[in-house]
Amino acid sequence: MDREHCLAMGRTCVAYNLRRASRLVSQVYDQALKPTGLKVTQFSLLVSFVLAPDSKMAQLAQWLGMDRTTLSRNLRVLEKRGLVELEQGQQDRRQLKVRITPEGKKVFEQATPLWLQAQEEVVGGIGHEKWADLAKELRSLVAGLK
Amino acid sequence: MDREHCLAMGRTCVAYNLRRASRLVSQVYDQALKPTGLKVTQFSLLVSFVLAPDSKMAQLAQWLGMDRTTLSRNLRVLEKRGLVELEQGQQDRRQLKVRITPEGKKVFEQATPLWLQAQEEVVGGIGHEKWADLAKELRSLVAGLK
DNA sequence: CCATACTTGATGTATATACACGTAATGTAA
DNA sequence: TTACATTACGTGTATATACATCAAGTATGG
């Protein structure tokens, strides 16, 4: 395996390029959200709960492209802070329904303008149109895998 | 914060979109690399070591857009498996030089075709040209943050 | 030469992530 | 109804990730 091939792998590897970008980008958001004590991962989860109240875990994990068990553990962090509540399902006692609490809603509202600040900073780096393109292609990439 | 705004955040958040894509994409590569026991993160590190033998950690971390401490810990995993060696620098005794071992090279060579397989699968989902565009924009996104 | 600042890497701690496996609840077919 | 498969979620374990902090080595100004 010569140097040229290695260079090509580094330049083209989808996993590497995506992981690196998401590391750096996440740091910007995490920094901006710091006053709320939220990480961007947690903020994204809160968005989901506002969008889809009482959703079930498996369903949510599917939607987020996240392993069930990952979601489970990420939820526990939010639960410990009292930002979400977990309630056993009525019909099916295996199911857990997730609901955002008033406290969770408060923190979420507080976080929203901070999120926007990070978003502007990151998107500003390449321009809104370029990001719109990129987002579309990312979605089609994801769609091809699920 | 109404439903429309939440939907918009979900659709446009750079961190969310990148993290989701990198989760899913990483799984494809990890799956393909399974016979080698490597994760795609580790494979990427090996590529770096082949490209830049005897590089120093801080330098490498900068290049990879990765925190010093993250790299430090990721390296230990490879060291435990005997795939890389760490050697104290001569001039500056604080610096650690990283070198891939013969065993590391062997595993790397074994992993390369498996990587290619995953790469083809993922890139195939959107087409080589679209991915070339996407990669370019990702790089410019990253460049805007460093 | 010495005191102080800076650099380099490691550790403590916490979250994020997923696979393999386990348990409990539900569905289904005989 | 009972036996077995399926589904929903949790646990054990391991890696990935980064911030705050620490320790040790190096550089620099006096």
pLDDT averaged over consecutive 10-residue blocks of chain B (146 residues)? 86 96 97 97 95 88 94 96 93 92 96 96 93 92 86
CA of A137 to C1' of C22 (A): 39
Distance CA B60, CA B96 (A): 11
pLDDT of residue A37: 96
SS (H, E, C) chain A: CCHHHHHHHHHHCHHHHHHHHHHHHHHHHHHHHHHHCCCHHHHHHHHHHHHCCCEEHHHHHHHHCCCHHHHHHHHHHHHHCCCEEEEECCCCCCCEEEEECHHHHHHHHHHHHHHHHHHHHHHHCCCHHHHHHHHHHHHHHHHCCC
pLDDT of residue B91: 87
Q: What is the largest CA-CA distance in chain A?
A: 61
> Could you give all domains of chain A from N- to C-terminal order, each with its CATH number?
3-143 (1.10.10.10)
pLDDT of residue B55: 87
Rounded to the nearest angstrom, the gap between the alpha carbon of residue A79 and the centroid of all alpha carbons in its chain is 17
pLDDT of residue A4: 87
> HSE of B21 in the Cβ direction (CA atoms, 13 Å)?
33
Test mutation, B1, B11, B22, B114, chain A, max A CBs within 10 A? B22
Task: Name the nt closest to A31 by C-alpha to C1'.
Answer: D19
pLDDT of residue A54: 83
Nearest Cα to A138, choosing from A7, A13, A14? A14
Residue of B nearest to A7 (CA): B51
Contact A23 B65 (CB under 8 A): yes
pLDDT of residue B129: 92
pLDDT of residue B53: 83
Mean pLDDT of chain A: 93
Contact B22 A18 (CB under 8 A): yes
pLDDT of residue A6: 87
